[in-house]
Amino acid sequence: MVAVKLTESKKIAIIMSLILSITSAHGLQVIKASNIKSNLTSEIIENKTEDVKSNPFKFDDKGVLIRYYGNDKEVVVPEGIKKISFGAFMNNDKIEKIVFPEGLELIDECAFYGCSSLKDIVLPESLESIGRLAFGNCINCKKVYLGEHLKSIGEFAFWKCDSLNYIDVSKDNEVYSSYKGLLYSSNYHTLKLCPAGRVKDVHLIDSTKVIGEYAFFDCKKIESISMSGFFPVMISDSAFYGCENLKEVKIDSGINEIGSCAFAECKSLTEFTVGNKVTSIGSSAFLECTSLNKVIFIPKEIKIGHDIFALCDQKIMITAEKGSSADEYVKKHSAQLYLA
């Protein structure tokens, strides 16, 4: 019971640190995780105008769209708008479709957070930046289109979009690209994001060199990852955090680095082979992999971080060469690990 609480608090801390950063930047205070929604929503209500029926949009003196108070299923954002501000449409559960104008350049943090009825999102070619958590918790969104001029996507911009299964990108975009609905860098070397709604098996493009930080964060329906590959792959920090149904990672070209918390809470992972190209494993890499019972270490020399098997429920059998880094690691952690 204690182990679960510790792990959940670590996971919540990742999101809470982001939310606290965002809310403090916009003059809001959030004391507890349970109060996040009510605090952000109340900020919007306090600024509500009386002429909602005649004009549901509110703008600041610079023409920035700062609030929408309507209840329409389809919303057409007025022409001439270059920026949609923090929380402008937050927690509006009526909207199913948004029509964005060309000329829009920025969608700020949390702008559409919690728009639970929003479906496909087609962003204009002119859009340059999407803020952190901008479309977070849009639980019924299935597809997103990113335009030609998009240059940056904030952390967890599509967090908790549990139905999202496809991200499409303009072929003219110089920063991002799409491969079978996965978001990549333009050169297809770095996997940026796997939509949380993807199920079962995910195949990566052979040019992949890096699986980015949080790329598969909370992708709970994925069961296997595969890739033939041209290059050894670096698995970044928290890349597969919370993939609770992930059973297999098969990368034929090999893995060269495993980051901190890379496979944390992958509770269906039973076995793992650390291939001969792996040079380092980060701290808590297999945090709370509660079904993990066998790990094979092939390399003789490898840098191993602190508590890589923290909060795993059972003793884990390790296969490693005598005198290797893994062999020495097992001897220091004999209460949790044992040699085959």
pLDDT given at position 313: 84
Q: Write down the mean pLDDT value for the chain.
A: 89
Model pLDDT, residue 55: 85
Q: Please say if the pLDDT value at position 199 is more than 80.
A: yes
Q: What is the pLDDT of residues 89-142, one digit of tens each?
A: 999 999 999 999 999 999 999 999 999 999 999 999 999 999 999 999 999 999
CA distances from 223 to 43, 116, 268 (A): 40, 26, 9
CA–CA–CA angle 113, 160, 82 (5° rounding)? 35
Model confidence at 10: pLDDT above 80 = no
Which whole number is the average pLDDT over 145-149?
98
pLDDT at 335: 87
pLDDT in tens, 214-231: 999 999 999 999 999 999
The structure tokens 């940056």 sit at 152
Interstrand relation of 190-193 and 182-185 (parallel, antiparallel or unpaired): antiparallel
Q: Is the dihedral of CA 185, 189, 193, 194 positive or negative?
A: positive
Q: Are 135 and 157 in contact (CB under 8 A)?
A: yes
CB 197 within 8 A of CB 190: no
Indicate whether 6 pLDDT > 60. Answer: no
Mean pLDDT of the region 51-74: 89
Contact between 261 and 235 under an 8 Å Cβ cutoff? The reply is: no
> Quick one: average pLDDT of 264-293?
97
Which of 77, 83, 82 lies closest to 121, judged by CA? 77
| pLDDT number for residue 39 | 46
CB 292 within 8 A of CB 309: yes
| Predicted local distance difference test score (pLDDT) of residue 16 | 63
**What's the pLDDT score for residue 174?**
98
Backbone φ/ψ region at 339: left (φ over 0), alpha (ψ -120 to 50), beta: beta
User: What whole-number percentage of the chain has pLDDT above 90?
Assistant: 82
For residue 191, what are the CA distances in angstroms to 52, 53, 148? 43, 44, 19
| Residue 188 scores a pLDDT above 50 | yes
Instruction: Give CA 323 to chain center in angstroms.
Output: 38
325 CB burial (10 A radius; 0-12, 13-18, 19+): middle
Return the structure tokens found at 80.
Answer: 């001439």
Q: CA triplet 262, 34, 165: central angle to 5 degrees?
A: 45
The Cα–Cα gap between 91 and 98 comes to 14
Can you list the domains of the chain with their CATH numbers?
Answer: 1-174 (3.80.10.10), 183-340 (3.80.10.10)
User: In this model, does residue 210 exceed pLDDT 90?
Assistant: yes
Checking if the pLDDT of 33 tops 90, the result is no
Give me the mean pLDDT over the 310-336 stretch: 94
CB 106 within 8 A of CB 84: yes
29 has pLDDT over 60: no
pLDDT at residue 32 tops 80: no
4 pLDDT band, cuts 50/70/90, is: very low
Task: Report the pLDDT averaged over residues 234-245.
Answer: 97
Residues whose CB is less than 8 angstroms from the CB of residue 198 and which lie 6 or more positions away in sequence, other chains included: 165, 181, 219, 221, 222
